[in-house]
A = this chain, B = another copy of it.
């Protein structure tokens, strides 16, 4: 590989001049002719600066890490896109890392990030992280921005409008005529799940309906838990005529449970999920969802992190624009009775 000094030698200048030219140093006074020679030389040698040296000298890696609990989660894809887009515009690379509190200790995150490998970290929390896990994990020497979660006393987060999303779901069901609405909740320890649950209670009340506690089943974020929870709710008598699921995968699990129990969706049970992804188009029936602006959340988190690296303070943001959006497909209809 060509080094800076090779470029400088070819251009007949010192490394310092070459450096200033290639970094567009506006302070420096460089002859236009010299500048050209350096640039030509760099082209000719296909010079690419060594990231290690640059990072060492500048105490900056030009890279951020996106830590997710489960890389293979559909909604995560758009989060990643948002982060990627912003980071790319600001010349920062994005490294993804999967990190599950279930299998790795808090120290592992520090190992992964190493010391100076990235300038900052964006963390998406999942159901397995307790607050303490999370606090332990973010004891890094770089700034951390949390996505879809907040931590008491910790600044640096981007949250989604969970309440509004659930409200859309409830109101949709209410308008269809449902009154007995159940809720497949997320893990109680996750504050976003808590917000969705509160949103459910509140919007039920606002719609003039009662949220019956036995129709609320805690699940988690994944399909098996959703199936279990739905199985319980279905067995009740009277049972709900509609279900709101706090996440897409639990909704898929719920549909599975309904099918296995011989209950037809949507004619006997309507299902609506919070969060959307391509799979919603491929379930039978197609799933009615409330799409959350995950891409925007990712973009906002990346922007906040990169701004912070440039000197701005961290903050707790709420993504209000675009709003969560109801996407009516086939899994919801009016109650039969």
Which among A45-53, A185-193, A312-320 touches the partner chain? A45-53
Q: A74 — nearest CB in chain B belongs to which residue?
A: B72
A106 within 8 Å of B (CB atoms): no
Which among A144-152, A198-206, A252-260 touches the partner chain? A252-260
Which residue of B52, B94, B283, B284 is within 8 Å of A61 (Cβ)?
B52
Q: Establish whether residues B95 and A96, one from each chain, have CB atoms under 8 Å apart when the complex forms.
A: yes
A112 to B74, CA, bound (A): 23
Q: Establish whether residues A284 and B284, one from each chain, have CB atoms under 8 Å apart when the complex forms.
A: yes
B residues in contact with A55, CB < 8 Å:
52, 55
- Interface residue ranges of A35-56 to B (CB < 8 Å): 48-53, 55-56
Q: Establish whether residues A97 and B94, one from each chain, have CB atoms under 8 Å apart when the complex forms.
A: yes
- Interface residue ranges of A263-322 to B (CB < 8 Å): 277-279, 281-284
- Interface residue ranges of A209-242 to B (CB < 8 Å): 222-223
A63 within 8 Å of B (CB atoms): yes
A282 to B282, CA, bound (A): 11
Which residue of B49, B76, B282 is within 8 Å of A115 (Cβ)?
B49
A98 within 8 Å of B (CB atoms): yes
A115 to B1, CA, bound (A): 9
A180 within 8 Å of B (CB atoms): no
A95 to B94, CA, bound (A): 9
> A interface, by DSSP: helix, strand, loop or mixed?
mixed
Which residue of B56, B70, B282 is within 8 Å of A253 (Cβ)?
B282
Q: A62 — nearest CB in chain B belongs to which residue?
A: B114
A141 within 8 Å of B (CB atoms): yes
A16 within 8 Å of B (CB atoms): no
A277 to B71, CA, bound (A): 14
A96 to B83, CA, bound (A): 14
B residues in contact with A77, CB < 8 Å:
70-72
Q: Establish whether residues B223 and A278, one from each chain, have CB atoms under 8 Å apart when the complex forms.
A: yes
A-to-B contact residues, CB < 8 Å: 1, 48-53, 55-56, 61-63, 70-74, 76-77, 80, 84, 93-98, 110-112, 114-117, 141, 222-223, 252-253, 255-256, 259, 277-279, 281-284
Known interface pairs A72-B73, A283-B283; 5 further A-B residue pairs with C-beta atoms within 8 A, sorted by A's residue number: A48-B115, A52-B61, A95-B95, A222-B278, A223-B281
